[in-house]
Amino acid sequence: MTAVVDDVVAVAESHRSELLAYCYRMTGSLHDAEDLVQEIQVRAWKAAGSYDPQRASIRTWLYRIATNVCLTALKTAERRALPVDLAEPNPVLGPGRFEKSPELPWLEPFPDALLGDGDPAAVVAARESVRLAFVAALQHLPPLQRAVLILRDVLALRANEVAGLLETSTAAVNSALQRAHAQLSEIPAAPAELGDEEQRELLQRYVEAFETMDIDALKRILRDDAMLQMPPFLAWFDGRQAITAFLSRIFDRDEGFRLLPTRANDRPALAAYARRDGVFVAANLHILTFDTDGIARMDLFHDPDLFRFFNLPAWL
């Protein structure tokens, strides 16, 4: 019996990365996902002795536990969102005295490095399914529909497997999936993808413009209809002119910036450090969405605590 328990626990640990990504898609929070995965592993350890390989694979059994844990957590959780979901674009061109709203349940970024390795096709699908627009849209679905869509479309479980782990019928699973698809059909189409070399060039131009605080250089790489949001600030800015007018005030006020490359939510990302008394301290994470016309979207997460998930230092 001990050997069986040890085997189940070992397999559960090997699936940690994909369970973390599953909990993130379900909750929209990296912090919550970390806590939920810990609970999943404890439950798997406690129930390992009763696992029956004749009824389901260990992976499916783990997702039964994970889904129950997530659905229980979501019963009392508020929907996580981004500023663009909650308010109109800010008409003020300067930073003014924007107040943080930490009491609101904000969507959080997810490091690509935490998605783990595995089958290349599966990794590509996993990365695409943690894009901010998709995860934000998932939060509008009822939790059960959310689970069905992720289990079927992202994790590629069969309808009867999903029915078994949710203890419902295959027809109910198919119906929930159909309703989820109908709601997600309203997501705007993803921008045209750039090639790797084009992405690297545009990213380097953004880094240079930001570190030299060159507003004119930023204007040249932003789309005219670009969007900037920066949770936990409720304010967000719509369009190149509004964004650069806002950032020009920021640049006038700050001492300087250094940016380190990383990746989050299947997008190029940068860790921004602001100079304070001669030291560059963690300030915010920039997640950038590129297309063939330039930078379409800037998601700036003002939460230095997130840096630890990206294995980034607190200061330079």
C-alpha–C-alpha distance, residues 55 and 72, integer Å: 24
C-alpha–C-alpha distance, residues 282 and 302, integer Å: 9
3-state SS, one letter per residue, for the chain: CHHHHHHHHHHHHHCHHHHHHHHHHHHCCHHHHHHHHHHHHHHHHHHHHHCCCCCCCHHHHHHHHHHHHHHHHHCCCCCCECHHHHCCCCCCCCCCCCCECCCCCECCCCEHHHHCCCCHHHHHHHHHCCCHHHHHHHCCCCHHHHHHHHHHHHCCCCHHHHHHHHCCCHHHHHHHHHHHHHHHCCCCCCCCCCCHHHHHHHHHHHHHHHHCCCHHHHHHHEEEEEEEECCCECCEEECHHHHHHHHHHHHHHCCCEEEEEEEECCEEEEEEEEEECCEEEEEEEEEEEEECCEEEEEEEECCHHHHHHHCCCCEC
Residue reference for tokens 């953004």: 206
C-alpha–C-alpha distance, residues 308 and 105, integer Å: 20
* Residue 303 backbone zone (phi > 0: left; psi -120 to 50: alpha; other: beta): beta
Six token digits for residue 246: 């806002």
How many CB atoms lie under 10 A from the CB of residue 64?
18
Six token digits for residue 302: 């003002």
Enter the pTM of the model: 0.92
Among 268, 291, 245, which Cα is nearest to 127's?
268
Side-chain half-sphere of 67: how many Cα atoms within 13 Å?
Answer: 24
- pLDDT of 125 reads 64
C-alpha–C-alpha distance, residues 59 and 64, integer Å: 9
Containing H/E element for 266?
Answer: none
Contact 205, 217 (CB under 8 A): yes
Domains and CATH numbers, the chain: 196-310 (3.10.450.50)
- pLDDT of 316 reads 92
What is the full per-residue pLDDT of the chain (316 aa) written as tens digits? 465 566 777 877 888 999 999 999 999 999 999 999 999 999 998 888 888 888 888 888 999 999 999 999 999 999 999 999 998 998 765 555 678 898 999 999 999 999 876 544 456 666 788 999 999 999 999 999 999 999 999 999 999 999 999 999 999 999 999 999 998 887 777 777 788 899 999 999 999 999 999 999 999 999 999 999 999 999 899 999 999 999 998 898 888 999 999 999 999 999 999 999 889 999 999 999 998 889 999 999 999 999 999 999 999 9
* Residue 235 backbone zone (phi > 0: left; psi -120 to 50: alpha; other: beta): beta
